[in-house]
């Protein structure tokens, strides 16, 4: 799963979701031999920053799977997941979205 990645994209949209709370788990791996600060980006969902200044090479190392998890409330039937580059290009290897009516964001 972490051998390929989407790079340089800005947004994923998940349409026609029921209103409610969702657990979002983006997965990352720095596949290039990059030094820390070469690729730094923010992860946002529904207009809120959940992962600021993610530097995969610094936090996890090169070729190491790294996931984050957060909950977000969807009120308009669409989950917007954004990646904002601060240095280099954004990168994501996987995104898992789970409806969690048992949680509140």
User: Total structural domains in the chain?
Assistant: 1
- Domain contains 15: yes
pLDDT score, position 18 = 95
Residue 58, classed as helix, strand or coil, is: helix
pLDDT score, position 1 = 67
pLDDT score, position 5 = 87
> What CATH number did the domain enclosing 26 receive?
2.60.120.430
pLDDT score, position 69 = 97
Read off the pTM: 0.91
- Domain contains 60: yes
Q: How far apart are CA 96 and CA 80, in angstroms?
A: 13
Residue 56, classed as helix, strand or coil, is: helix
pLDDT beneath 70, residues of the chain: 1, 33, 105
- Domain contains 84: yes
**Degrees, nearest 5: CA angle 94-97-102:** 150
pLDDT score, position 105 = 53
- Domain contains 61: yes
């Amino acid at each position: 799963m972490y051998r390929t990645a989407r790079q340089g994209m800005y947004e994923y949209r998940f349409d026609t979701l029921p209103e409610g709370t969702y657990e979002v788990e983006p997965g990352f791996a720095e596949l290039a031999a990059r030094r820390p600060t070469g690729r730094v980006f923010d992860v946002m969902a529904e207009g809120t920053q959940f992962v600021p200044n993610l530097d995969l090479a610094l936090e996890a190392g090169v070729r190491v799977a790294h996931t984050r998890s957060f909950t977000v409330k969807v009120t308009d039937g669409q989950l917007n997941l954004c990646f904002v580059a601060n240095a280099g290009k954004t990168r994501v290897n996987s995104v898992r979205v789970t409806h969690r009516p048992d949680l509140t964001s």
